[in-house]
Amino acid sequence: MSDRDGKIWMDGQLVEWRDAKIHVLSHTLHYGCGAFEGVRAYKTAQGTAIFRLQEHTERLFNSAKILRMKIPFTPEQVMEAQREVVRVNQLESCYLRPLTWIGDKKLGVSPKGNTIHLMVAAWPWGAYLGEEGLQRGIRVKTSSYTRHHVNITMTQAKAVSNYTNSILANMEATDEGYDEAMLLDPAGFVAEGAGENLFVIKKGVVYTPDLSAGALNGITRDTIFHICQDLGLTLKEKRITRDEVYICDEAFFTGTAAEVTPIRELDRIELGAGRRGPITEKIQTAFFDIVNGRNPKYAHWLTPVA
């Protein structure tokens, strides 16, 4: 990914894509303490706009706070950096990656006295789990890896190090021919996907694991809460077991990258009719209407980049 034209925002400067480098002795590279965001900008009739920029930026600062890192920029500067990166790279719709890391002043576990940095990059990125996945649904495997315990890594931080667990789960699932992994919490209840929150639908009611299972508080997850209310659907956060997923009528993953991706199979067991369900489709349509600027009620969630 490094050999591209374009600009990356690094510590307040726009840097040539190829020159946006850090030293091999950077603290985060060795110990994994850093935080990031995944954000999307969509092409709307009113121009390109970043979806829920404020909430993503807030979560980045909260992640840094949890990790005891002080970002040397204000949230306003970081929001402006994200708008600038989309603008300067002339992207119509794209994925954005802000990341904060600890510098190369010294090594040793303690980051005290080290520098904190921030970068924002943006590039075009289509459907994370495939265009076909959005239509037909994906095949998922319950991971043999357990999701983080809430007092081992901090699960409300979108921390760099949390993703080793996601990588292992995703590689295991995809090596076995599945599209994505679903992880259980240390007590055996459903937590989330490797990079997605999970929803199941049973008898018209929408359920999602409550955050005590260690799932990230997804911004798409919150968007689904609003959509359910608009559609008159009852939504409940609760502990969910693996077998409750097996016998649900419909299921889907949500995430900034994954958007709303139906799940048609878990552990080779067909969920419902084994394809995108009718309620999932309604929610998915409402979601794409909102992010693409076709629902005026949520116009405030779209920040124009121009």
Query: Could you give the residue numbers annotated as active site?
Result: 158
Distance, in Å, from the CA atom of 280 to the CA atom of 261, rounded to the nearest integer, reads: 9
Q: What helix, strand, coil percent values describe the chain, rounded to 5? A: 30, 30, 35
Cβ contacts of 206-210, under 8 Å, gap ≥ 24 = 206/233, 206/234, 206/235, 206/236, 206/279, 206/283, 207/235, 207/236, 207/237, 207/238, 207/240, 207/244, 208/235, 208/236, 208/237, 208/240, 209/185, 209/237, 209/238, 209/239, 209/240, 210/237, 210/238, 210/239
Binding residue for ligand PMP, selected from 34, 98, 111, 218, defined by CB under 6 A: 218
Bridge partners of residue 7, in order along the sequence: 16
User: Closer to ligand PMP at the Cβ: 25 or 171?
Assistant: 171
Binding residue for ligand PMP, selected from 197, 280, 284, 303, defined by CB under 6 A: 197
Count of other CB atoms within 10 angstroms of residue 20: 18
- Structure tokens that stand for 176 in this block: 């076995």
Residues that bind ligand PMP (rule: CB under 6 A) add up to a total of 15
Answer yes or no: are the C-beta atoms of 147 and 168 closer than 8 Å. Answer: no
Q: Write down the least CB distance from residue 144 to ligand PMP, Å.
A: 17
Q: Which stretch binds ligand PMP (CB under 6 A): 27-35, 138-146, 214-222, 241-249?
A: 214-222
Binding residue for ligand PMP, selected from 104, 180, 192, 250, defined by CB under 6 A: 192
Rounded to 5 degrees, what angle do the CA atoms 12, 114, 59 make?
Answer: 55
Q: Which stretch binds ligand PMP (CB under 6 A): 1-9, 62-70, 192-200, 280-288?
A: 192-200
User: Closer to ligand PMP at the Cβ: 15 or 66?
Assistant: 66
User: Closer to ligand PMP at the Cβ: 44 or 197?
Assistant: 197
Distance, in Å, from the CA atom of 193 to the CA atom of 259, rounded to the nearest integer, reads: 13
Binding residue for ligand PMP, selected from 48, 114, 153, 256, defined by CB under 6 A: 256
The closest alpha carbon to 134, from 287, 233, 32, 276, belongs to: 276
Q: Which stretch binds ligand PMP (CB under 6 A): 95-103, 105-113, 193-201, 240-248?
A: 193-201
| 195 belongs to the binding site for ligand PMP (CB under 6 A) | yes
User: Closer to ligand PMP at the Cβ: 72 or 124?
Assistant: 124
Distance, in Å, from the CA atom of 174 to the CA atom of 69, rounded to the nearest integer, reads: 34
| 208 belongs to the binding site for ligand PMP (CB under 6 A) | no
For the packed helices 53-66 and 219-231, what is the interaxial angle rounded to 10 degrees? 140
AA letter at 186 = P
| 262 belongs to the binding site for ligand PMP (CB under 6 A) | no
Q: Write down the least CB distance from residue 89 to ligand PMP, Å.
A: 21
AA letter at 36 = F
User: Closer to ligand PMP at the Cβ: 118 or 183?
Assistant: 183
| 220 belongs to the binding site for ligand PMP (CB under 6 A) | yes
- Binding mask 29-58 vs ligand PMP (x if CB under 6 A, - otherwise)? ---------x--------------------
| 219 belongs to the binding site for ligand PMP (CB under 6 A) | yes
Pairing of strands 269-270, 7-10: unpaired
Binding residue for ligand PMP, selected from 94, 216, 266, 305, defined by CB under 6 A: 216
| 221 belongs to the binding site for ligand PMP (CB under 6 A) | yes
Residue numbers at the binding site for ligand PMP (CB under 6 A): 38, 166, 192, 195-197, 215-216, 218-221, 254-256
